[in-house]
Structure 1
Amino acid sequence: MNPMSICTPSSSHSSSSGSPTKAWIIHGVVVGAAIVAAIGARGYLLGRSRRFRSRAIGIIPARFASSRFQGKPLVNILGKPMIQRTWERAKLATTLDRVVVATDDEKIADCCRRFGADVIMTSESCRNGAERCSEAVQKLEKKYDIVVNIQGDEPLIEPEIIDGIVKALQVTPDAVFSTAVTPLKPEDAFDTNRVKCVVDNLGYAIYFSRGLIPFNKSGKVNLHFPYMLHLGIQSYDCEFLKLYPKLEPTPLQLEEDLEQLKILENGYKIKVIKVDHDAHGVDTPEDVKKIESLMVEKNLS
């Protein structure tokens, strides 16, 4: 398969001119293809479940076009582009053998090369960070067991968190994905840019949402409940990540616009670690000043 084609969205089927029977046949073919892809991934993972995942690579997906913040990876934060600050933090993680930037934009690529980062060019048609990481890893000559998707808009991500999710996936062979959560601040409870997560007693994700979960009858924040905020970092089993784009988009994923839900809806397990991290992602231009003030306060400039 041509690596450049894996991010291309599936073409939509119109049912306006076809018969109901034909529409159901088409629907069955699409669903059947998704099931085959899921079974293929599942079968591979069952075969490798006893193998220790040793080699890990960090990939920072970055695109220039963004509906909320155009050119966000290149925004200046105390004299350095944000993508550089994220890359420098990721390079401090002890579990990563390599850190690369995956982008479809030459301006981002040129910037990253100037400060010394390895860059992999990817297709403009990638629909999310996971698909961009998937395309990038297939262009690498060296083989890896774990791919860490590091969000470029978390310039203060702690290297210890990167190491934590890598180790979590290494010791949990039945999971294909690992991520981290931290306590949610009450003032962020209804912020749809802050993704929430609920976790079971064994440390596996139950659900992710842009809304407040769990939600109670009063419709208000329960100040005594330990709500969890999902941090923008996740690691994947490398072979599962290659198969990920073949899985059809799922209803919950599309409704919430959260790629993690496609993994859960297909029956795969996500391991979650809990950390204490004062999350400071950059979602809007206004967030830049907050980040800079915090860095000056903590002497991180």
Structure 2
Amino acid sequence: MKTIVFIPARYASTRYPGKPLATLGLPDGSRKSLIQMSWEAASRIRGVDAVYVATDDDRIAGAARDFGAEVVMTSQECANGTERCADALARSGLSADLVVNFQGDAPLTPPWFVEALIDAMQADPSIPMATPVLRCDLTTYQNFVEDRRNGRVGGTTAVFGTTGRALYFSKEVIPFVDPAKLPDPVPVFHHVGVYAYRPDALASYVAAPQTPLEQLEGLEQLRFLETGTPVHCVEVDARGRVFWELNNPTDVPRIEAALKSLDAQ
């Protein structure tokens, strides 16, 4: 099964302009851009045929080529990463059985998260797309709650049925858990913003207009749910590693601390 990875990256982020080129401090004292760290993380995934940075910005493209990445230039009209992946696939003329959308703001994403998606879709050809979910420990759950309490949009939570089929995704912390009865791990699932799609699912997605819940929540995956395309959630295990995306500038210290912890293991 031929699998290619696109890392969609745009400069004009509302919450964090220029985010792909923001640098993070590494344990050895050096600094590296977010897009380079994400590309290096994606390059460690087993069973992938190629990894490309997909962007509409010459600054990001230039930086990516400088550290050795292949780049596909995309339209400035792409509304989200899924549209950018679809556009990159169409413009590049590449063929693939699976397309992976690997977020450029999540350098802490372990390769086995994506490998689990690929395995699930190989095992069940009826799955049009899949995405990982990670059960929250107390620290991650408290980070979610703290962000919302302070008016920040942090990570996304996912609710899914017994077969793994997604019911909803939200930037609110769902489902509600009584704070007086918090177990550890918490029965709240952190949605890891990585997707694996079959090409026909991507084509159907871009053929549909933006949907109401997608626009309200600002979550691209809701268009699949609202138009009737099943989204399969694959529960993954962090294996003791901290996972968090860089959604806001305040997330930089969290990720740098996680990198130091990872280096010490």
Alignment TM class, shorter chain as reference = 0.7 to 0.9
**How far apart, CA to CA, are the structure 1 residues paired with 2:211 and 2:144?**
25
- Cα deviation for residue 294 of structure 1 reads 2.2
**How far apart, CA to CA, are the structure 2 residues paired with 1:203 and 1:239?**
21
Q: Which runs of 5+ in 1 are unaligned?
A: 1-53
Query: Could you say if the C-alpha distance between residues 61 and 258 of structure 1 is closer, same or farther in structure 2, counting changes exceeding 3 Å?
Result: same
> Within 5 A, what are the aligned runs for 1:174-189?
174-184=126-136, 185-189=140-144
Q: Is contact 1:177-1:270 (8 Å) kept?
A: yes
2:16 alignment partner, SS class: coil
Given candidates 11, 19, 32, the residue that maps to 1:64 is 11
Given candidates 164, 169, 173, the residue that maps to 1:212 is 173
Higher Rg of the two aligned structures = 1
Segments of 4+ moved more than 6 angstroms: none
2:104 corresponds in structure 1 to 152
Deviations 1:162-185 (A, max 9, x none): 111112122222221100111223
Tell me, yes or no, if structure 1 residue 237 matches structure 2 residue 198: yes
Q: Which runs of 5+ in 2 are unaligned?
A: 26-30
> Within 5 A, what are the aligned runs for 1:157-168?
157-168=109-120
Q: Bigger CA drift: 196-205 or 236-245?
A: 236-245
Q: Which amino acid aligns with 2:250?
A: E
**How far apart, CA to CA, are the structure 2 residues paired with 1:296 and 1:255?**
36
Q: Bigger CA drift: 117-126 or 238-247?
A: 238-247
Given candidates 180, 188, 193, the residue that maps to 1:227 is 188
Deviations 1:260-297 (A, max 9, x none): 11101111111111112322211122222322232123
Q: Is contact 1:172-1:271 (8 Å) kept?
A: no
- Cα deviation for residue 104 of structure 1 reads 0.7
Q: Which amino acid aligns with 1:256?
A: E
- Cα deviation for residue 107 of structure 1 reads 0.4
**How far apart, CA to CA, are the structure 2 residues paired with 1:65 and 1:221?**
41
2:134 alignment partner, SS class: strand
**How far apart, CA to CA, are the structure 1 residues paired with 2:237 and 2:190?**
11
Identity of aligned residues (%): 37
TM-score (norm 1): 0.77
Report the RMSD for the aligned CA atoms in angstroms: 1.9
Q: Which amino acid aligns with 2:48?
A: L
Tell me, yes or no, if structure 1 residue 127 matches structure 2 residue 82: no
- Cα deviation for residue 188 of structure 1 reads 3.4
Tell me, yes or no, if structure 1 residue 273 matches structure 2 residue 234: yes
2:28 corresponds in structure 1 to none
TM-score (norm 2): 0.87
1:103 corresponds in structure 2 to 55
1:173 corresponds in structure 2 to 125
Q: Bigger CA drift: 291-300 or 61-70?
A: 291-300
Q: Is contact 1:138-1:242 (8 Å) kept?
A: no
Q: Bigger CA drift: 233-242 or 165-174?
A: 165-174
Query: Could you say if the C-alpha distance between residues 110 and 187 of structure 1 is closer, same or farther in structure 2, counting changes exceeding 3 Å?
Result: same
